[in-house]
Amino acid sequence: MHAERGTAPARLLRVLPPGESIELAAADARSAILDAYRLDSPEHLRLTMVSTLDGRAAGSDGTSESLTSRVDRTVLGAIRELSDAVLVGAETLRREPRLLPRSRALAVLSASGRLGPVGERPVEEHPVGERPPARPAAAGSASPPPPLLVVTSREGARRVAVERPEAEAIVLPTDSAGHLALPEVVAALRERGLRRIAAEGGPRLADGLLRAGLVDELCLTLMPLLGGASLPLLGAVPQKGSAVGDAHPAALSRLRLVSLLADEEGALYGRWSTR
C-alpha cells in the first residue's frame, strides 16, 4: 500500500503461479482478483498487512494510508469481500479511523472498550470511482451499515454501551494483565457465524495471532519504499530509545508462498500459507 504517484498501473502481473496479466481497466478485473484470492476452506483467518522494504507498517504520517495505492485498495477490498468479518485492534482503529469495511462486519478488539471516533468515510476499496457509504448509513440508505462488534471485558462493555450504543459488545474474560485471549476472541466470532476472518492489525494484534498459531494465511503487500514512521510490521511499537523487541518464533520460517502478483510500479502482493 503506497502513496499515489505517477500514472496508475494498468495491469497486475501473475508471477506465481504464472498466467495472463490482469488488465485493471477490464470489466472482469475485479472478478479476476477475487479468483486470485478465493478460498477453498469454510473456516479461515487471513492476516493482511502492508510493509515498506525496510519493514515499516506506516508512512511518514504514521498511518498505512500514506503507503496505500488504488491497486492495493482493490486487493484489500477483494480480501474483505471473501471474508465474513474484518478484525482490528482498537489502537489501529484510533490511528486510522477511515479504514473501515464497507460491507462486512467490523470486529474491534478492546479490553477497555475505548474505541475513539469511527471515521466518516471508509478509504476507497474499488478501482473505478466507487465511493463507499459513510458509517452509519445516511438516512434513506437502501441497506443498513454492517455490524460493529467490540470484543471486550465486562467493564469495557459498560463503556461501549454508553459511547457506542450501536455496537454489540462480546464479553470475554481477561487474564491477570487485563488482556483478552486471542483464541477465545476468534472462537467467539466464529460462534456468531463469522468463520472467515480478515485480520488487519495493528502490529500487536498481528504478532499475537501469529504467536497463537491462529493465522492460516498471510497476505502481505510489499511496497517499493524505504523509510516512514517507526511502526514495526509485527510486535509492540518501540518506545524512544528502546529496541524493537525479540525475534519472532520459528513459525514464520514455515510459510509457503501460494501466489504472487506484481504491479508495474514494483509493488508485490503475496499470499503465504502457514499450514
Residue found by looking up cell 476472541 in the block: 185
Q: What is the pLDDT of residue 58?
A: 74
Q: Peptide bond before 136: cis, by omega within 30 degrees of 0?
A: yes
Tell me the mean pLDDT per 10 residues along the chain, length 275: 57 94 93 94 94 80 77 93 95 80 92 74 42 41 79 96 94 93 97 97 90 94 82 61 45 80 94 91
Q: What is the pLDDT of residue 123?
A: 45
Residue found by looking up cell 462480546 in the block: 170
Q: What is the pLDDT of residue 236?
A: 60
**SS3 state of residue 85:** strand
Cell output for 53: 522494504
Give the global pTM. 0.82
Q: How many CB atoms sit inside 10 A of residue 65's CB?
A: 17
Phi-psi region of 99 (alpha: psi -120 to 50; beta: other; left: phi over 0): beta
CA distance 179 to 177: 6
Strand duo 22-23 + 11-16: pairing: antiparallel
- Count Cβ atoms within 10 A of the Cβ of residue 203 and give its class: 0-12 exposed, 13-18 middle, 19 or more buried: buried
Q: What is the pLDDT of residue 87?
A: 97
Residues in CB range of 112: below 8 A, 6 or more apart: 90, 152, 153, 155, 156, 159
CA distance 204 to 232: 9
Q: What is the pLDDT of residue 102?
A: 84
Torsion of CA 175, 179, 184, 188, to 10 degrees: 120
Q: What is the pLDDT of residue 60?
A: 73
Dihedral over Cα of 220, 226, 227, 228: its sign:
negative
Which of 177-193 are b and which e, b meaning 16 or more Cβ less than 10 Å from the residue's Cβ? eeebebeebbebbbeee
Q: What is the pLDDT of residue 142?
A: 58
Q: What is the pLDDT of residue 6?
A: 53
